[in-house]
């Protein structure tokens, strides 16, 4: 990403966040007016309620677009210069999230469920090593690799473990890429 793209994207994210907050406040205010109108002006209650629902939809749409843009930007390390993107990626690398991912891998190894049993068993040794590293508190995990791990374990659109339309050979490369993001915790 170029600097101007980062600035543009930051402005877009801020705009979506402002839109979300403004629409939320307007929806709550309109619902309050509709509630008050039931006592004072009953004929206005229904139109105000419909208006409040429409504005609530707009707030939800702005929230979804903000979330979706951040989710897309998580794939681009340059976008980690944007505060919201960096914070979301760092949240992926927390020990709580890593433990959750390790549990998901453990579950997948025991009972593949939605994952392809053949694909999971072919990558079992690598997945077990990844699971141990995720649970190791003495290792830190690069946020971008944590995001890649989340996608491998949970995103059926991009995970070769979960999506039979993708090449099973990609699993090993993805696990190696994630495991390359581990390093010893810095000494305190």
DSSP string computed for the chain: --HHHHHHHHHHHHHHHHHHHHHHHHHHHHHHHHHHHHHH-HHHHHHHHHHHHHHHHHHHHHHHHHHHHHHHHTT-GGGGGSHHHHHHHHHHTSHHHHHHHHHHHHHHHH--TTS-HHHHHHTHHHHHHHHHHHH-TTEEE-HHHHHHHHHHHH-TTT-TTT-TTS-TTHHHHHHHHHHTTEEEPPP-
pLDDT band of 188, cuts 50, 70, 90: low
Q: What is the mean pLDDT of the chain?
A: 92
Task: Give the pLDDT of residue 91.
Answer: 96
Q: Averaged over 121-147, what is the pLDDT?
A: 95
pLDDT at 174 over 70: yes
pLDDT at 108 over 80: yes
How far, in whole angstroms, is CA 132 from its chain's centroid? 23
How far, in whole angstroms, is CA 43 from its chain's centroid? 43
Could you report the per-residue pLDDT of 55-86, keeping only the tens digit for each?
A: 999 999 999 999 999 999 998 999 999 999 99
Q: CA 158 to CA 117: how far, in whole Å?
A: 17
Q: CA 141 to CA 180: how far, in whole Å?
A: 9
Q: CA 14 to CA 11: how far, in whole Å?
A: 5
How far, in whole angstroms, is CA 127 from its chain's centroid? 21
Could you report the per-residue pLDDT of 45-58, keeping only the tens digit for each?
A: 999 999 999 999 99
pLDDT at 115 over 80: no
- Please say whether the beta carbons of 34 and 48 come within 8 A: yes
So where are the chain's domains?
3-85, 93-184
Query: Which has the higher per-residue pLDDT, 164 or 33?
Result: 33
pLDDT at 1 over 90: no
- Please say whether the beta carbons of 147 and 94 come within 8 A: no
């Amino acid at each position: 990403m170029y600097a101007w793209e980062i600035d543009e994207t930051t402005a877009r994210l801020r705009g979506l966040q402002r839109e979300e907050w403004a629409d939320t406040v307007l929806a709550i205010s309109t619902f309050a007016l509709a509630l008050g109108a039931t006592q004072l002006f009953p004929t206005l209650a229904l139109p105000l309620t419909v208006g409040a629902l429409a504005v609530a939809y707009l707030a939800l749409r702005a929230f979804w677009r903000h979330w979706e843009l951040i989710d897309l930007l998580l794939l681009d390390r340059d976008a980690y210069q944007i505060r919201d993107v960096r914070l979301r990626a760092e949240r992926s690398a927390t020990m709580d999230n890593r433990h959750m991912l390790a549990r998901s891998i453990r579950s997948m190894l025991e009972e593949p469920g939605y994952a392809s049993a053949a694909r999971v068993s072919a990558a079992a040794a690598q997945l077990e090593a990844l699971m141990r590293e995720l649970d190791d508190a003495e290792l830190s995990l690069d946020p971008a690799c944590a995001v890649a791990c989340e996608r491998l374990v949970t995103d059926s659109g991009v995970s070769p473990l979960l999506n039979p339309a993708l090449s099973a050979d990609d699993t090993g490369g993805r696990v190696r890429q994630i495991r390359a993001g581990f390093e010893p915790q810095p000494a305190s």
